[in-house]
Amino acid sequence: MPLRPRLARPLFALVALLLAVGSCGRELLGPGGTRRAVVALNPEFGAMRVDGAGQPLSMRSIVTFTRVRVVLLRANGDTAIDRMVDFPADADSVALAFTVKLSPTAPAEGESLGAAMRFVTASGDTVFVGGPVSVQARPTSATTSPAPLTIPLTYVGPGKDAASLTLTPDSVVGIRGQSVTLTAAARDAQGAVLPNTPVAFTSSDTTLVRVTLGGGVATLVGARGTALVIAQTLTGQRDTARVSITPTASAIAIATGNNQEVRQGGTFAQPLVARVTAVDGLPVANVPVRFAVATGRGSVGAALDTTDAAGLAQTTWTAGDTAMTGSVVAAVDGQSTLSVTFAGTQLSTGPSFLAFGVPPRRGVPAGDSIGPVSVGIYNRFNELLPNYRGTMTLALIGGPPGAQLRGTTTVSVDSGSSTGWFRDVTIDKGGSGYRLVATLLSPNLTATSDTFSLAPPRPATLELLTGDGRVTPGGSVFPDSIRLGVKDRFGVGLGGVPVTFTIISGNGSVSPTPLVTNASGIAAAAWTAGLSGPQVVEVSVPGLSPEQRRPARQRRPDGRQRAGPHEPRQAPLLRGECGERPRLRDRQHERHAPLLGQ
């Protein structure tokens, strides 16, 4: 028959006992004239109950026994069987087999026996006793098997007379991973300590505190909270200790203040805030956090701060004087492995970009000034740089092929202005699609203006090429027709310029009229003289003031077809003779009468 501990109570194990009993009576039911009977025993360790969520525990974890003594007594007090059975410490069951003689007077339904059990330690001390209780040994021929008979067990080992139990310490505050040993002292009714009293230790919440059953070593395994350690003797005395877990830093993370931008030397707008949490992810208060600049040559306001109830520690950050990405490390003080790094961009206050302030003039004639043109030097905060000195150039792109930018195209930027001024620049051709490109030489920055257009250039000079000082009969065309040239201020001939001829004297005529210069700036016309007398024609073009006109050419008195020497006048004059010797006109009369012919 097996003798096996099994769990039936929250704390103790039960032992099920099955006995086979033989006899030598007159009624022979088996070989050799024997009858067989069966009894069943169920020892119960029911003296202890544990509150809370403690795990079910084996009785042998509290009190170690190595043998079990089984005694069966007859009704007259005689011993039917008395056996000591080994129960190895590493075994969970043993097999039992007993052969006894039934009383000659035992009825057919079996014999009533008294059963008793003793649990014995290796040193021979009895620690639990049970019985005697009456048990019916039924022959195997019976129609029903007997129900197991419960035998209540009583603890009779050290501390059996305990009247109280005291647990020391009664309160513990620690951190996750810490272990503390709790000591239980059992006392009798007179207050005397009972040594070697077995005590069972359990925890009300094993997710927070785990305790060794017989040793009372409590290990704090949770992140935070409170659990009770319960100590209880086998005779029911008990005491409790409160174990509280203070959360400790397990991680640190950035809360706010990461990846900000500020000008070099400035203070970042948001403080650097780090959050410290425990293993449960909840905040931890009163944790010192140290802040230190790692890169960027900046500084922090408070190098050490303590987390608040939300687990937050913070400081301010002033950027260094170097344009770069700086960094600050926040670490739990004394725990370098618990750290986090804040990054921040320290923006340069030096030249960042150029922008046209005063753009080039639009629509003015080519050759006229398109300035003043100004180009500002800005930092990345859209501020004109103070106290900057440098060199800036201006170049032309776009527009008609061959167009050139003329004038002063390289200027020095003065300290305090942060602006390059180009005041006397011109473009030598009219057209559209022009753009100016400003370049700062150090550092190399550029800016491009919006597109603009220029009107055709103004006439700057009007030059009489042929046709002055001729002689012809009245009513006929002067030989060597009139030819003249119109040029801009750069000496380039201007095409498409309208030319006007005004008869000053002689009643002659000029054709064709109106007349326009060709692509080279040249215009030619035929001059028909009047019937008689001096002939004078004035030539003019729009936009050319008298002060800009070339001096008139005057005929020589002795030459019919030879041009005379230059004579300064306010407008080009053509002079010719018609049928008589030429007469020199009075200079005062000729100021506004430019061309002569006779």
Would you give per-residue pLDDT tens digits along the chain (598 residues)? Answer: 334 333 333 333 333 344 433 333 333 344 444 556 677 777 777 545 554 444 455 666 788 888 999 999 988 888 888 989 888 877 666 666 666 677 777 787 778 889 999 999 988 999 999 988 888 877 765 556 667 778 888 899 999 999 999 999 999 999 999 999 999 999 999 999 999 999 999 999 999 999 998 889 999 999 999 999 999 998 889 999 999 999 999 999 999 999 999 999 999 999 999 999 999 999 999 999 999 999 999 999 999 999 999 999 999 999 998 889 999 999 999 998 999 999 999 988 889 899 999 999 999 999 999 999 999 999 888 888 877 888 999 999 999 999 999 999 999 987 677 899 999 999 999 999 999 999 999 889 999 999 999 999 989 899 989 888 888 888 899 887 799 999 988 889 999 999 999 999 888 999 998 899 999 999 999 999 998 888 898 888 987 765 444 433 333 333 333 333 333 333 466 666 664 333 323 222 233 334 444 3
CA pair distance 68, 19, nearest whole angstrom: 14
Cβ neighbours of residue 123 closer than 8 Å, sequence gap 6 or more: none
CA distance 318 to 296: 10
The helix or strand, by DSSP H or E, that contains position 411, with its residue range, turns out to be strand 410-413
Query: 428: which DSSP letter?
Result: S
The confidence score (pLDDT) of residue 203 equals: 93
Q: Which of 364, 328, 359 is nearest to 345 (CA)?
A: 328
Q: Which CATH superfamily is domain 461-597 in?
A: Immunoglobulins (2.60.40.10)
Give the integer Cα–Cα distance in Å for 316 and 305.
11
pLDDT of amino acid 140:
62
Length of the chain: 598
Backbone angles phi, psi at 61, to 5 degrees: -75, -20
Q: How much is the pTM?
A: 0.56
Secondary structure, 3-state, 250-276: CEEEEEECCCEEEECCCECCCCEEEEE
Nearest to residue 515, comparing CAs of 499, 526, 528? 499
CA–CA dist 463, 548 (Å, integer) = 10
What integer pLDDT is reported at residue 87 of this predicted model? 81
CATH 2.60.40.1080 domain extents, the chain: 164-246
CA distances from 105 to 79, 187, 196 (A): 16, 51, 49
Given a contact cutoff of 8 angstroms between Cβ atoms, the answer to whether 223 and 282 are in contact is yes
Q: Where in the chain is the domain with CATH 2.60.40.3960?
A: 353-454
pLDDT at 561: 30
Write the class of the CATH domain 254-347: mainly beta
CA distance 372 to 169: 92
- Residue 29: closest CA among 142, 105, 145: 142
| CA–CA distances in Å: residue 378 to residues 266, 273, 338, 357, 441 | 18, 33, 42, 11, 14
Distance in angstroms (rounded) separating the CA atoms of residues 38 and 281 = 62
The answer to whether 458 and 498 are in contact (CB under 8 A) is no
Q: Which CATH number fits domain 164-246: 3.30.1370.60, 3.40.50.11810, 3.40.50.720, 2.60.40.1080?
A: 2.60.40.1080
CB count in 10 Å sphere of residue 442: 8
| Cis amide leading into 372 (omega within 30) | yes
CATH class of 353-454: mainly beta
| Measured distance CA(412)–CA(418) in Å, rounded | 10
In the prediction, which pLDDT does 570 show? 38
Burial class (CB in 10 A: 0-12, 13-18, 19+), 450: exposed
Q: Which part of the chain has CATH 2.60.40.10?
A: 254-347, 461-597
Q: What is the pLDDT of residue 371?
A: 92
For residues 380 and 447, what is the distance between their CA atoms, to the nearest angstrom?
Answer: 14
CA angle 102, 103, 109 (to 5 degrees): 70
For position 573, what pLDDT does the model report? 66
Edge to edge, the sheet with strand 482-487 lists 461-466, 482-487, 522-528, 509-511
